[in-house]
Amino acid sequence: MKCPIAVCLAAALLPQVGCAFFSKSDAFVSRYFSPESAAGPADRAAPSGLELRLGRVGSAAYLKDEIVFRDSGYEVGFYNGRRWTEKPEFYVRRALGRALFDRRGIRQIAYGVGITLDVDVLAFEEVRAPAHVGRVQLDYSLVDHRLVRFSRSITVERPIADAAGDAAADAIVAALARALADSVDILADQTVAELRTEGSTSASDRPGEP
């Protein structure tokens, strides 16, 4: 009796499937990177007399653990084998904490009324054209319990060194590490300046001593 067509096809393909299943091949392994320095904590600055709450630090939905590249203003791509150890927003939050509370001596508000800094990470990516750079873009605002006191966007780009092979990924991460550090420093300086302005305005609104 003749076998059904489906059974004959399965029997014919079985040796090939078995060979493919048991053949040796190189396993795909992702590489994980971090833009944070391995250096120890910096010395704390003297108290500045300013206070601030570090509020929400979020990011665009596409900024996850895959390292992002951009070839145009409208399209982004993702490296399959190159990943961050964490989402970029976590790097930004820790960098802000060090910049504001350690290096600039701002006292961190945990509870109660006070000005809050909210940040959105809009870009954390390799830009391939027209210039090969690492780009970090941060939107931030200073708010109290009623009003947005101040808001601004910061975009920092740092050149990516020419490299090939495994060194190419290191060059991308190094450029983004510099862009991260510089953008956070700019944001921290602008925040300190605005907090001092707010303090001066509040003091000038107080009635004079009799």
CATH number assigned to the domain comprising residue 52: 3.40.50.10610
Query: Does some domain include residue 100?
Result: yes
Query: 197 or 84: which carries more pLDDT confidence?
Result: 84
Query: Does some domain include residue 27?
Result: no
Identity at 167, one-letter amino acid code: A
pTM of the model: 0.81
Query: Does some domain include residue 30?
Result: no
Query: Does some domain include residue 31?
Result: no
Q: How many structural domains is the chain composed of?
A: 1
Query: Does some domain include residue 72?
Result: yes
**Domain region containing 92:** 45-203
Is residue 147 within 8 Å of residue 114, measured between CB atoms?
no
Tell me the pLDDT band of 117, cut-offs 50, 70 and 90: very high
The fraction of the chain above a pLDDT of 70, given in percent, is 79
Query: Does some domain include residue 54?
Result: yes
Q: Which two tokens stand for residue 196?
A: 């001092």
Sequence-ordered alpha helix ranges (H) in the chain: 5-22, 88-97, 166-205
Tokens 């391995």 belong to residue:
38
Ramachandran area for residue 67 (φ above 0: left; ψ -120 to 50: alpha; else beta):
beta
Query: Does some domain include residue 151?
Result: yes
Query: Does some domain include residue 150?
Result: yes
Identity at 102, one-letter amino acid code: D
